Chain A
Amino acid sequence: MNDRYDSVILHFIARVFLVPLILVFGVYVLLHGELSPGGGFQAGAIVAAALLLVRLALGNRQAALRIPQGLLIWLACIGLGIYMFGGILPLILGYNFLDYAPIPVDWYNQFAGEARTARSMGILIIEIGVFFGVAAVLVLIYDLVAGSSRQ
């Protein structure tokens, strides 16, 4: 899987059709996680599957969407930071840990013209954090196992 397998059909299907579709579906699953089935963990797994598919189809060296390993570790830590921010923000405002009630959403509703509640906004913040953590760690595991094993 370190080498490029020259097949026009495989490259066209993977790069033009499948990977953008899977990425858009992953973002959809993330943003509708509090209303429909899905959430941060599933969206992270789907986006990581798209990144692994382009690595499998095109080889590790020629693949697009290559991210350095240090940046992947930073992305996972940023996801954990977003999760902790969503948990500690109500604690600062005088409520319990991970209690989403005091999160201010009035400015967002006026800006976007929606009628979000504070709890759905809190769940969305948590799920964005989980999304970054899961996607970055899954891609990092693949890069460590198969990416640099045979140079």
Chain B
Amino acid sequence: MIWWLELSLFGLLVVAALIALSVRDMIAAVATLSVYSFLAAVLLALMGAVDVALTEAALGAGVTGVFLIGAISVVERRTPD
């Protein structure tokens, strides 16, 4: 339908995934992973799966980020690799 919007969102999805893999700071990695989940939710809503998009936005972009930040506060923040 809006093919250029879906294509640009998919490009941003790949860029967000690569940034989340390559960044050193763990908090920045968690934030980028939340951006990835939100873009995936927008793509799912554009495809018509609103129920799956609601679950992805609530769990992937919201609760998972909070859980990962809670885990980072226990271990060290910067990673050598």
Contacts and interface: CB of A to CB of B under 8 A. Distances in A.
Q: Do A and B bind each other?
A: yes
Interface string A46-61: 1011001100100000
A29 B59 CA distance: 15
B57 to A, nearest CB: 9
Interface of A: 1, 29, 37-39, 41-42, 45-46, 48-49, 52-53, 56, 138, 141-142, 145-146, 149-150
Contact of B59 (A45, A56, A146): A45
Nearest first, the 7 A-B pairs at minimum CB distance are A146-B70, A45-B58, A37-B50, A49-B62, A37-B51, A145-B70, A52-B66
A45 B66 CA distance: 12
Give the bracket for the number of chain B residues in contact with chain A.
10 to 19
Contacts of B67: 141-142, 145
Contacts of B71: 145-146
B55 A149 contact: no
A1 B58 contact: no
Contact of A38 (B51, B62, B69): B51
A99 to B, nearest CB: 23
A122 B65 CA distance: 34
B1 interface: no
B43 to A, nearest CB: 16
A29 B74 CA distance: 34
B51 A49 contact: no
